[in-house]
Amino acid sequence: MHNAAVTADQAAVPPAPLLSVVIPIYNEQEALPLTVQRLRPILDSLDITYEVVGIDDGSTDATPQIMHKLRQEWPELRIVRFARNSGHQAALTAGIHRAFGQYVVSIDADLQDPPEKIPEMLSLAREQGLDIVYGVRGDRNTDTFFKRRTAGGYYWLMRKLVGKKMPAHAGDFRLLSRAAVDALKSLPEHQPVYRLLVPWLGFSSGEVVYDREERVAGSTKYPLSKMLRLALDSITNFSAAPLRLATWLGAGSFLICFVLAVYTTVQYVAGATVPGWASLFIAMLFLGGVQLICIGLLGEYVGRIYSAAQARPAYFVGYDSADERNTVAPSTAPQYVA
Ligand code: UDP
Ligand code: MG
The ranges assigned to domains in the chain are 2-238+312-337, 241-310
Is it the case that residue 310 has pLDDT exceeding 90? no
> Does the beta carbon of 57 lie inside 6 Å of ligand 1?
yes
Protein residues near ligand 2, an ion, with CB under 5 A: 108, 110, 112
pLDDT grade for 162, boundaries at 50, 70 and 90:
confident
CA of 26 to the centre of ligand 1 (A): 6
Q: Over pLDDT 90: what percentage of the chain?
A: 44
- Pocket lining: 110 vs ligand 1, CB cutoff 6 Å: yes
Q: Is the C-beta atom of 142 inside 6 A of ligand 1?
A: no
Residues 6 or more apart from 281 whose CB is under 8 A from it?
A: none
117-135 core/surface letters (b: 16 or more CB in 10 A; e: else): bbebbbebbeeeebbbbbb
Determine the pLDDT at residue 317: 93
Question: Of all helices (H) and strands (E), which one includes residue 50?
Answer: strand 50-56
* pLDDT tens digit sequence for 218-269: 888 888 888 888 888 888 877 777 777 777 887 888 788 778 878 888 887 8
> Which carries the bigger pLDDT value, residue 48 or residue 164?
48
- To the nearest whole percent, how much of the chain has pLDDT over 70? 89
d(C-alpha 318, C-alpha 113), whole Å: 28
144 Cβ closer than 6 Å to some ligand 1 atom: no
pLDDT of residue 133: 96
Ligand nearest to the CA of 220: 1
pLDDT tens, position by position, 8-42: 455 556 788 999 999 999 999 999 999 999 999 99
Chain center to CA of 97: 14
> What was the pLDDT predicted at 324?
53
- Taking 80 as the threshold, does the pLDDT of residue 60 lie above it? yes
User: What are phi and psi for residue 65, nearest 5 degrees?
Assistant: -65, -45
Is the CB–ligand 1 distance for residue 172 below 6 Å? no
Read off the pTM.
0.79
Mutate to test the pocket of ligand 1, among 61, 88, 150 (most ligand atoms within 8 A of CB): 88
Q: Specify the CATH architecture of the domain 2-238+312-337.
A: Alpha-Beta Complex (3.90)
Question: Could you tell me the pLDDT band of residue 323, with boundaries at 50, 70 and 90?
Answer: confident
Among 306, 147, 320, 319, which residue's Cα sits nearest to residue 236?
306
Q: Is 53 helix (H, G, I), strand (E, B) or coil?
A: strand
Give the lowest-confidence range in 22-26, 134-138, 188-192. 188-192
Q: Measured from the CB, is residue 109 less than 6 Å from ligand 1?
A: yes
Q: What own/partner pairs with CB < 8 Å and gap ≥ 24 does 281-290 have?
A: 286/253, 287/253, 290/249, 290/250, 290/253
Mutate to test the pocket of ligand 1, among 108, 172, 210 (most ligand atoms within 8 A of CB): 108
DSSP state of 202: -
